[in-house]
Homo-oligomer: A and B are copies of this chain.
Amino acid sequence: MYKAPVEEIAFTLKHVAGMDDAISKGLLGDLSEDLVDAVLSEAGRFATEEVAPLADIGDRQGARLEGGEVRLPDGWRDLYRSWIAGGWNGLTAPEAFGGQALPHMLNVAALEMWNSGSMAFALAPTLTMGAIEAVSTHGSAALKEKYLEKMVSGEWTGTMNLTEPHAGSDLGVLKARAERRADGSYRIFGQKIFITWGEHDAADNIIHLVLARLPDAPAGTRGISLFLVPKFLVNDDGSLGARNDLFCHSLEHKLGIHGSPTCTMIYGDGRFGDEKGAVGWLVGEENKGLACMFTMMNNARLAVGMQGVAIAEAATQKAVAYAKERTQGRAPGWSGPGMSPIVEHPDVARMLLTMKALTQGARAISYACAHAIDMSHRAGDVSRHWQERAALLTPIAKSFSTDAGVDVASLGIQVHGGMGFIEETGAARYLRDARIAPIYEGTNGIQAIDLVTRKLPLSGGEQVKGFIAELKEIAERVRRSNLDGFAETSVRLDAAISDLEAATDWLTKTLADGKAAEALSGATPYQRLFGLVLTGCYLAKGALAESGDGRGAGRIVLCRFAAENLLAETAALRDRVVNGAASLAAARILLA
């Protein structure tokens, strides 16, 4: 059973991702390390004791559609009620609406724990937090006044309605339409698919944020507007009014996250209300909906990255526990009586250590991204730098972490042997749940396109250069540390960073030369290369931080393992980026 790794999370936040630095500079208000520990500890307790025990039943029962209503798995309604009663939904939300305005870093760390407990459950607040952000950033004063307080408390949940059957990654072609009404409201019509927690019985109201097109809108992405469309209309006194003209038509039958209702939503077919059309209100300006949506999507991408970290953590814990307990065969050097625990077999140890390194690397990258987001709001003169850093890190955090989630969950099954394939064991669920994360909120391929075409050019390429220079400093500190066993690590880090630098330069030049197809052929290998280098460097940063007081031996050996066993891949990835495009292009005749 999952146990929240509160100390590891706190260490990574403080000493790897930059929280200690931000606190010491006074950029996080009156946040103290003690408060951080207290929040994490209580979140860890809740995730471990309340959320995780209900994950299996959620998976087995799934969400069910009965007479137009969605029934959550047994116990989930109460779980959600008790979760919001703990105030967890408003951790980072504005104080004006009842939130606690804590740094994003803290929320992301808590999100990791909710997701380790149950990814399907944690999706509800993940979507609500995105909706809160969109409304509080782009909504009118009236909308904020009417909706935010209950969304912040979690009494009402939120959703994002983007996808239509023919419009997934390409939102420019969506067809849902909105009509203006004289009172300033709109009527929304259309069908949306893959709407996470689009309907359920745990909250009194559900606030849908819906992308739709006005009759006179320009074609493509510049003609999309964002609307707030509540399940129940809200009266001026805040009480709930009539049912709005929208409903959940069906639930998807999915590989994983069974407890999370994935809804097809129908807007404006006349099932409810006197006049056809779901009543909605504009968020932001007409035809500027995509910009509003991107506000929530950036944070949502990091939130999805946390799902990868979370599953990787939970899968690793489970596999390590099993490998220590299960005995089979006699490992080389085993001197005990009878069979050895399988953890003694070098091959099993390799799998487990790979799982640990990927998990901790993904966590550090994601927390560093959250730190950059915090700094982009709080760092005054250098906010713009941090905004760019967050933009650069977001696709890596999303893709590397979600790939790690899948890879680690799959290794976890392998460690369990035949038992891993049996659903009751629980290892298989992690793979089933994790598999969606590299897909939604922009596939990892789309993240790679974003990284290469939009993020590398930030500040004329200086943002990524500056970042690489910071990584070189870490490698340099590893060398100067002279720590036992760390010499080879510094060599490996140097080589990996050189690979990153060479690939970055090549991509920058190739894009500048207008060779988009060549550059994009290497986007995915480049993204993974970046993530691996960051994994090595952040593990090193943690090892250096802890080595000062004589502890840290564990961090040093894990960093060594990553440097000497995982980072060799970077040369192959650089090669794919720099040399792979021609043979890929030639082979496309096979796909004609």
CB of A135 within 8 A of chain B?
no
Query: Size class of A's contact patch?
Result: 35 or more
Q: How far is the CA of A339 from the CA of B221 in the complex (A)?
A: 13
Residues B557 and A346 in contact, CB atoms below 8 Å apart: no
Which residues of A420-445 have CB atoms within 8 Å of chain B's CB atoms?
420-424, 428, 431-432, 435-436, 438-440, 443-445
Q: Which residues of B contact A583 (CB under 8 A)?
A: 485, 488, 557, 560-561, 563-565
**Cβ B163 vs Cβ A418 within 8 A:** yes
* Residues in B neighbouring A331, C-beta threshold 8 A: 517
Q: How far is the CB of A255 from chain B (nearest CB, A)?
A: 4
The answer to whether residues A345 and B445 also contact, given A332-B517, A587-B353 and a CB cut-off of 8 A, is yes
Choose among B253, B349, B516 the residue that contacts A591 (Cβ–Cβ < 8 A): B349
With the chains together, A256 CA to B333 CA distance in Å?
36
Q: How far is the CA of A589 from the CA of B356 in the complex (A)?
A: 13
Candidates B356, B565, B572, B586; contact of A580 at CB < 8 Å:
B565
Instruction: Report copies per complex.
Output: 2
Known A-B contacts A571-B572, A591-B324; A521 and B350 likewise in contact (beta carbons under 8 Å): yes
Q: Which interface residue of A347, A517, A569 has the most chain B CB atoms within 10 A?
A: A347
User: Could you jot down 25 A-B contacts, CB within 8 Å?
Assistant: A163-B418, A168-B417, A169-B417, A252-B422, A255-B428, A255-B431, A256-B421, A332-B520, A347-B448, A347-B523, A350-B524, A410-B435, A414-B438, A414-B444, A417-B439, A417-B443, A418-B439, A418-B440, A421-B435, A485-B586, A553-B589, A554-B590, A558-B590, A561-B587, A564-B580
A558–B586 Cα gap in the complex (Å)?
9
Known: A255-B428, A431-B435, A583-B561. A445 touches B348 (CB 8 A): yes
- Is A558 within 8 A of B587, CB to CB? yes
Give per-residue flags for A523-560: 1 if the beta carbon is below 8 A from chain B beta carbons, else 0: 11000000000000000000000000000011001101
How close is A550's CB to chain B, nearest CB, in angstroms? 15
The 7 A-B residue pairs whose C-beta atoms are closest, nearest first, are A568-B572, A332-B516, A347-B445, A564-B583, A561-B587, A255-B428, A346-B521
Q: Could you tell me the distance in whole angstroms from the C-beta of A63 to the nearest C-beta in chain B?
A: 15
Name 6 extra pairs, CB < 8 A, besides A353-B587, A353-B591: A252-B422, A324-B591, A346-B521, A417-B443, A565-B576, A568-B575
A173 at the interface (CB under 8 A from B): yes
User: Does the CB pair B569–A587 fall under 8 Å?
Assistant: no
Q: Is A328 an interface residue, CB under 8 A from the partner?
A: yes
Cross-chain contact A346 with B590 (CB below 8 angstroms): no
Query: With an 8 A cutoff between CB atoms, is A17 at the interface?
Result: no
The answer to the question of A241 belonging to the interface, with a C-beta cut-off of 8 Å to chain B, is: no
A254 CB–B CB distance under 8 Å: yes
Neighbouring B residues of A105 by C-beta, 8 Å: none
Does A185 reach chain B (CB closer than 8 Å)?
A: no
Complex interface: chain B residues within 8 A of A346 (CB) = 517, 520-521, 523, 581, 584-585
Chain B proximity of A127: nearest CB distance (Å): 15
Give the Cβ gap from A583 to chain B, nearest Cβ, in Å: 4
User: Does A406 belong to the interface (CB within 8 Å)?
Assistant: yes
Interface, chain A (partner B; CB < 8 A): 163, 166, 168-170, 173, 194, 252-256, 320, 323-324, 327-329, 331-333, 338-339, 343, 345-353, 356, 406, 410, 413-414, 417-418, 420-424, 428, 431-432, 435-436, 438-440, 443-445, 448-449, 485, 488, 516-517, 520-521, 523-524, 553-554, 557-558, 560-561, 563-565, 568-569, 571-572, 575-576, 579-591
Tell whether A582 pairs with B568 under 8 Å between CB atoms, given A418-B163, A431-B435, A435-B431: no
| Complex interface: chain B residues within 8 A of A571 (CB) | 568, 571-572
Contact with A588, one of B349, B435, B524 (Cβ below 8 angstroms): B349
**Dominant secondary structure of chain A at its interface with chain B:** helix
Q: How far is the CA of A8 from the CA of B568 in the complex (A)?
A: 35
CA gap between A488 and B579 in the complex, in Å: 11
CB distance from A418 to the nearest CB of B (A): 5
Chain B residues contacting A194 (CB-CB under 8 Å) are 418
Taking A170-B329, A352-B591, A586-B560 as contacts, is the C-beta distance between A253 and B345 under 8 angstroms?
no
Distance to closest chain B CB from A435 (angstroms): 6
Closest B residue by C-beta to A341: B591
| Residues of B with C-beta under 8 A to A329 | 169-170
Contacts of A443 in B (CB 8 A): 414, 417
Q: Which residues of B lie under 8 Å from residue A413 when comparing CB positions? A: 255, 435, 439
Determine the residue in chain B with the shortest Cβ distance to A438: B414
Neighbouring B residues of A320 by C-beta, 8 Å: 591
Distance, CA A338 to CA B172, complexed state (A)? 11
Report the nearest B residue to A338, measured CB to CB.
B173
Closest to A485 in B: B586
Q: How far is the CB of A318 from chain B (nearest CB, A)?
A: 14
A438 to B347, CA, bound (A): 14
Select which of B254, B414, B569 is within 8 A of A421 by beta carbon.
B254
